[in-house]
Amino acid sequence: MSLPAMQITPSVLNANFAELGAEIARIPSADMVHVDVMDGHFVPNLTIGLPVVESIRKATDKLLDIHLMIEDPDRWAPDYAAAGADSVTFHVEAARAPIRLARELRKLGARASMALKPATPIDGFADMLTEVDMVLLMTVEPGFGGQSFLDLVLPKIRRTRELVRRTGAQILVQVDGGVSVDTIGRAAEAGADVFVAGSAVYRADDPDAMVNELRDAAVKGCQH
């Protein structure tokens, strides 16, 4: 499946959890559907788990981008890949053996992605970039939707893009947190090419129109 250069992956964190199938159907232009799994330990919030992801998988054929904000991803992440997730993201702050975990996810047929909190530097993980398909840089503190975009992460986005470029590999750079029409251009200009947007999409009058508006704004941003 060929994906556009700038990908919009709406988060269902801000959708109606009682109607997730219908909510996903409202964003046909989305490149992936971003699902936040929080355990109340690694982050203070508690959301959904494996059974709900399995139900979402049955309800849509869109690519599922699972973001695990949980303790012990080494134990749980492979189960999400086995459940049909197309991409599984684990936090390097929580993983005990991130390279082994990334390889296991790929072996199960999912894209492997590592996530970093705003204060976690990318340089310590430069050597393992080629073990993953995507790097997720949090642009808010993980755990809750609706937070404001942290511009202090922009230099890290630029640094990550530079390190990715040096590998010569096709590795996506995703940002998550406070992404809106007002902020997406700055993130794209810094080097991001995949954007998680939750409240911006699901609080819009027309969520799918917002998906396309965000993509257009990202394209304009990376042209500057």
One-character DSSP codes across 34-67: EEEEEBSSSSS-B---HHHHHHHHHH--SPEEEE
* pLDDT reported for residue 2: 44
* pLDDT reported for residue 142: 85
- Catalytic annotation, pick one of 31, 36, 39, 133: 36
**CA-CA distance, 149 to 198, in Å (whole number)?**
12
Judge contact between 31 and 3, C-beta under 8 A: yes
* pLDDT reported for residue 53: 95
Task: Examine the residue annotation and report whether 36 is marked as an active-site residue of this protein.
Answer: yes
Judge contact between 200 and 180, C-beta under 8 A: yes
* pLDDT reported for residue 5: 86
Q: Which CATH architecture has domain 7-222?
A: Alpha-Beta Barrel (3.20)
* pLDDT reported for residue 222: 83
* pLDDT reported for residue 1: 40
Judge contact between 29 and 60, C-beta under 8 A: no
- Catalytic annotation, pick one of 65, 133, 176, 193: 176
* pLDDT reported for residue 57: 96
Alpha helices in 138-204 (DSSP H): 154-167, 184-190, 199-202
**CA-CA distance, 200 to 219, in Å (whole number)?**
17
pTM for this model (two decimals): 0.95
**Which segments of the chain have a pLDDT < 70?**
1-4, 224
**CA-CA distance, 47 to 150, in Å (whole number)?**
23
Task: Examine the residue annotation and report whether 182 is marked as an active-site residue of this protein.
Answer: no
**CA-CA distance, 21 to 147, in Å (whole number)?**
25
